[in-house]
Structure 1
Amino acid sequence: MIEALIFGFVGSFHCIGMCGPIALSLPVKNDLLINRVVSVLIYNLGRVISYSLIGLLFGLLGLGFKLAGFQQSLSIALGILILMIAIFPYFSKFRLNTSYILFKPIGLIKNAIAKLFSKPQLSSLFSIGLLNGLLPCGFVYLGIIWTTSLGSAYQGALFMVFFGLGTIPAMLGVGLMGNIIDLKLRNKIKRAIPAFMLLMGCLLIIRGLNLGIPYLSPHLETRSETIAPTECH
């Protein structure tokens, strides 16, 4: 799951814009460094658990495609989808505003988070992390796409766990020391994100081509292999 860690680490620089203000405002105790570290880790644990549940759900969805014998086609289709997401903004002024589409549920989540900020307890920090993991995030969406292609609830959950762990260094730094990441560095990383998405899309397409290359394009079950014929004697 090295790719999930790298994916999460790269994505964390992009997600600081949304999650950073929450991490900076966490109701943590300022008296001892150890208290702050534990508090921020509890918050991040909540995020990782939310990601794992999302991975489990979409891993199950991918499993359905796999059992139906469509895992290979699904991987190619998802790879093309990522390429389109990466390239489309350069050819159109249109932007898909998922925040508007999910306005009501997002509002409910944000209101619940706001109420928890008035309770400086570890359970509140954990709950804030759980809810924060449900907020819209472009990199989480990309993780969901990859997770769906895996065709396994277990692997989906594991992928998103490692994705979440990859985001912790940056989020931990923000939670403990404020916005320590230079804006110029963040902008450089953001400009590199489309290239990262293109690579990710190409990898999914290559994976779906069923070339039999270990790790890069492993053998995927076809429909005939998934549903083996029974013999009557």
Structure 2
Amino acid sequence: MSVNLLPVLLAGLAGSVHCAAMCGGIVGAFSAAPRGRAFPVAVVTQTAQAAVLDSTARVLAYNGGRIASYAAAGALAGGVAASAGMLGAMEQVQAAAYWGANAMLVALGLYLAGIWNGIAVLERAGSRLWRRVEPLGRRVMPLDTPLKMLALGAVWGWLPCGMVYSMLVTAMLAGSALDGASVMAAFGLGTLPVMLSLGLAGERMRAFLRKPLFRFGAGMTVAAFGVAGLARAAGGLPAHWLSTLCLTSGVGA
């Protein structure tokens, strides 16, 4: 069963306002760098450039570890579902699966927009796993190398997050471990632009993303993907280019 990755990527981009709230503090701390005012001008320039490169390497390493954890979780979800025969070969089962995936997109959008917090239940359910994983992040302290940032990102990729869990439903329906990993990797890449900006711009970016109107718009965008997918799955939208923005199966296409 194939999954269109474009809406997953776009959902990650729009939904990354939630990532800013969940991980923005630690990622924003990466932007702190020594000013070097006590050095001569030539040394200051060199030090500033080195600080920028070091900060960029840390941010990239952290997000690389985070996305790797997403992909691992997607592979696990997709592989378990496939091995359990949850999807089967019946068209009815596949169609119902895509209805569920698009419904989760709608729920996620409402959650991001602050309209409905039902997905928060998933975050509370994941807190048990997080209590076991979180201590691993302390072992890489202090965060003085990109390799340690990579390890920290891999740990924080398991932070209880309703947005991630909703995407894991799609990964589970992808039909295989590889496809599940692809879904979650696409989602993680969608969050990358905002997370990189947070790491390099710090609190200024967080303040912008926390604006209620921006969060509402981002949430409605994600919900719109789900609504379009539901309409497409129901046969209410023709099979033209709009289908590229929908999570839908090939059933009845």
The reply to whether TM is greater than 0.5 is: yes
Match runs of 1:94-133 below 5 Å: 96-133=120-157
CA distances 1:136-170 after superposition (whole Å, capped 9, x unpaired): 12221222122233324323212221221121221
Mapped partners of 1:82, 1:34: distance in 2 = 37
Is the Cα–Cα contact under 8 Å of residues 60 and 153 in structure 1 kept in the other structure? yes
In 2, Cα distance between equivalents of 1:34 and 1:194: 33
Identity across the alignment (%): 25
Find the counterpart in structure 2 of residue 72 from structure 1.
Answer: 95
Alignment CA distance shift 1:136-1:73 (3 Å): same
Task: Please identify, of 47-56 and 153-162, the stretch whose mean Cα deviation from structure 2 is larger.
Answer: 153-162
* CA deviations over 1:78-97 (Å, ceiling 9, x no partner): 33455456669858x97844
Kindly state the Cα deviation for residue 129 of structure 1 after the two structures are TM-superposed: 0.6
The 10-residue stretch of structure 1 (157-166 or 113-122) with the greater mean CA deviation from structure 2: 113-122
Alpha carbons of structure 1 residues 58 and 105: separation in structure 2 relative to 1, 3 Å: closer
Give matches, 1:81-230, under 5 Å: 81-83=104-106, 96-181=120-205, 183-187=207-211, 188-206=213-231, 208-209=233-234, 213=239, 216=243, 217-220=248-251
Quote the Cα distance in structure 1 between the aligned partners of 2:61 and 2:166.
25
Give structure 1 stretches of 5+ with no counterpart. 222-233
Question: For residue 53 of structure 2, what is the aligned residue in structure 1?
Answer: 34
Q: 2:31 touches 2:202 (CA, 8 Å); kept in 1?
A: no
Alignment pair present for 1:12 and 2:31: no
Is the 1:82–1:198 Cα contact (8 Å) retained in structure 2?
yes
SS, match of residue 159 in structure 2:
coil
| TM superposition shift of 1:29 | 7.3
Partner in structure 1 of residue 41 of structure 2: none
Distance in 1, Cα, partners of 2:148 & 2:73 = 21
Segments of structure 2 that go 5 or more residues without pairing to the other structure are 35-46
Q: Which moved more, 1:6-15 or 1:25-34?
A: 25-34
SS at match of 1:54: helix
**Structure 1 residue identity aligned to 2:227:** C
User: In angstroms, what is the RMSD of aligned CA positions?
Assistant: 3.3
User: In structure 2, how many angstroms separate the alpha carbons of the residues matched to 1:13 and 1:66?
Assistant: 32
Conserved 8 A contact 2:17-2:218: no
How many Å apart are 1:11 and its aligned residue?
1.5
1:58 equivalent in alignment to 2:89: no
CA distance change for structure 1 residues 51 and 87 in 2, over 3 Å: closer, same or farther?
Answer: closer
Change (3 A) 1:72 1:65: farther
**Distance in 2 between residues matched to 1:119 and 1:184, nearest whole Å:** 27
What is the distance in 1 between the residues matched to 2:17 and 2:97?
29
Q: What is the distance in 2 between the residues matched to 1:121 and 1:172? A: 17
